[in-house]
Structure formats: structure tokens, C-alpha cells
Amino acid sequence: MLVDAKEMLNKALSGHYGIPQFNINNLEWTKSVLSACEEEKSPVILGVSEGAGKYMCGFETVSAMVRAMDKALGITVPVALHLDHGTYDGCYRCIRAGFTSIMFDGSHYPIEENVEKTRELVKAAHEAGLSIEAEVGAIGGEEDGVIGMGECADPEECKRIADLGVDFLAAGIGNIHGIYPPDWKGLSFETLAAIKERIGELPLVLHGGSGIPDEQIEKAIRLGVSKINVNTELQLVFAAATRKYIEEGLDKKGKGYDPRKLLKPGAEAIVEECKNRIAVFGSKNKA
Ligand SMILES: [Zn+2]
């Protein structure tokens, strides 16, 4: 069931749990994520970065695949198809392609320009029936070639963007994309509390959710985070399971080279990891 992400996130905020955003990269990824969330009866946001969209032959292809698969698998849980870290143009392309939610990442613009572009896109998204996420304070690490510094967002700037009518907000609190370095200082709960105090009842998004210790994620959820983005973790378990299959020589036994067999351990590993994350976020049976 494809829906926008507003209602599921508002419910998560009042129910004190987190909705997973699992990023998808291909058909196997999508199938594994949808199957895991259906089994756990968890609402889900399918995240598509612009790079992943390009890889999958464009947003229209992604939208058609997700809609058809949702129907074919008989998915009953709420599913939002969401653009992750969208550019200004990418947001309009996803609105036209049938996405149900977009993120406009204007965090690299000066705040005035971020405000103006976000204001315009909020109007465009809402007119088309989509939910919209905005970002303040760049998230560190690397995302599609863009390197951020992992700053903590300014609560006043968060308030300005929140007041534009965005449905949920990504704000840097020391989180980064990719693998966390050993000397990472952890999440800034002080910043999170200060932002929360300024923005009130607006769901917050934690990017770079892979590799943050579970107890920090649970604390962030208690303090008002309602959506946690997971991408790297699924990539790592997929790669490890595929490596094991090949290192054990299973691709050379019988018809083990058949892609349906070769990709199966990785696909199953994604299902398991999704279930693990759902357990930590508390979204099981919240559909
Ligand atoms: Zn992100």
C-alpha cells in the first residue's frame, strides 16, 4: 500500500518508536525490504538516492517497479516511496514520477536560499499529495560523492525550516553517512534536545543510522527522532553473505552460478538485518 510518509511518522512520534527508511538499490533489495516489513508488520519508507535512481534507470522505472512489486507481493503495510537527499530538480522529477514522498536537501545552500527553495518545494509537494523532508546542517560522511562535515544543526535555522510546513526534518546531531570512524564522538543529545524544544511536534529524521550503537538510537527515539535511515548496514550484510557464498565455492557447485542462487544469501541477509533494525526501532506490529 503506497502512501505518503506524514501519517506514519506522526504516529511514530506520538507512539515513541521509529520508522525505518531502508534505501533500495535494485530489485532484490526492494523485494527483501518489502518482505521483511510485511512479515514484521512494520510501516516502511523506501529511500532512493539520486545515484540509486540513476542506476535503476530513472525514477519512473523505480516507481513502476515498486508499485508493481507492492501489488504482486500483496503488501499490506504502509509503504512510502521517498527521494533521499534530493536536489531541486530531482524533487520535481520524483513528483512527476509518482513518488509519494521527497526529501529536499538544501543544507549546502546558504540558509536564505535553503529557506526559499524549501518553501517552494513544500508547496509543490503538498499540491501533488506528497510528504516532504528538509535538511538543516549537513550530515557528515559521503553521500553520492558529496562530503559533509558532520556539523550540528543550529536550532534557530531548524525552526525557520520547520515553520515552512515541512512534514519531517533532518538535522545534523553529529551523525554521519557510511561507516563510523573509531574516534567518533557519538550523537549530540544536547543538540537534539535544543532542536526539539524549538520545533515542537515535528518528527525528526536521523540520517546515517547504520553503525550508531543501539542504545544511542533508542535514546534519540525517546527524544523525538521518528525516522532512522539505514543504507550502509544492508550493503555490508549483502556483501558479506555474497562473499561467503563465493569463498565457499558454492557458485561452482551444480548451477550455483545462477543469479537467483548467487544473490539469494545476500537477499536473505538483508531480510534478517531489516528485522533486526525493526526490533531496535520498535516499529514491529505498528502497521
Ligand atoms: Zn542521509
Report pLDDT digits (tens) over 81-122. Answer: 999 999 999 999 999 999 999 999 998 899 999 999 999 999
Kindly state the average pLDDT of the residues 16-28. 98
Q: Is-catalytic flag, 84?
A: yes
**Residue of 91, 115, 125 lying closest to 163 (CA atoms):** 115
pLDDT digits over 226-236, tens only? Answer: 999 999 999 99
Kindly state the average pLDDT of the residues 205-209. 93
Distance 226 CA to ligand 1 centre (A): 14
User: What pLDDT does 36 receive?
Assistant: 98
Q: Provide the whole-model pTM.
A: 0.95
Q: How many C-beta atoms lie closer than 10 Å to residue 175's C-beta?
A: 30
Kindly state the average pLDDT of the residues 8-27. 98
Split at pLDDT 50, 70, 90, the class of 210 is confident
User: What pLDDT does 43 receive?
Assistant: 98
C-alpha cell at 19: 520508522
pLDDT at 144 over 70: no
How many percent of the chain have pLDDT more than 70?
A: 96
Kindly state the average pLDDT of the residues 38-49. 98
- Phi, psi of 136, rounded to the nearest 5 degrees: -130, 130
Catalytic residue among 4, 70, 84, 154: 84
- Phi, psi of 104, rounded to the nearest 5 degrees: -100, 120
Distance 258 CA to ligand 1 centre (A): 34
C-alpha cell at 122: 513544500
User: What pLDDT does 92 receive?
Assistant: 98
pLDDT at 150 over 70: no
Distance 126 CA to ligand 1 centre (A): 22
Structure-model confidence comparison of residues 66 and 140, the more confident one: 66
Distance 85 CA to ligand 1 centre (A): 6
Lowest mean pLDDT across 60-74, 140-154, 157-171, 188-202: 140-154
User: What pLDDT does 167 receive?
Assistant: 98
User: What pLDDT does 143 receive?
Assistant: 57
Split at pLDDT 50, 70, 90, the class of 280 is very high
- Compute the distance between CA of residue 166 and CA of residue 202 in angstroms, rounded to an integer: 9
User: What pLDDT does 178 receive?
Assistant: 84
> Which residue's C-alpha cell is 540509486?
52
Split at pLDDT 50, 70, 90, the class of 145 is low
Distance 84 CA to ligand 1 centre (A): 7
Q: Are 117 and 104 in contact (CB under 8 A)?
A: yes
- Compute the distance between CA of residue 278 and CA of residue 285 in angstroms, rounded to an integer: 10
For ligand 1, an ion, list residues with CB under 5 A: 207
- Compute the distance between CA of residue 274 and CA of residue 128 in angstroms, rounded to an integer: 30
Distance 138 CA to ligand 1 centre (A): 9
Distance 278 CA to ligand 1 centre (A): 18
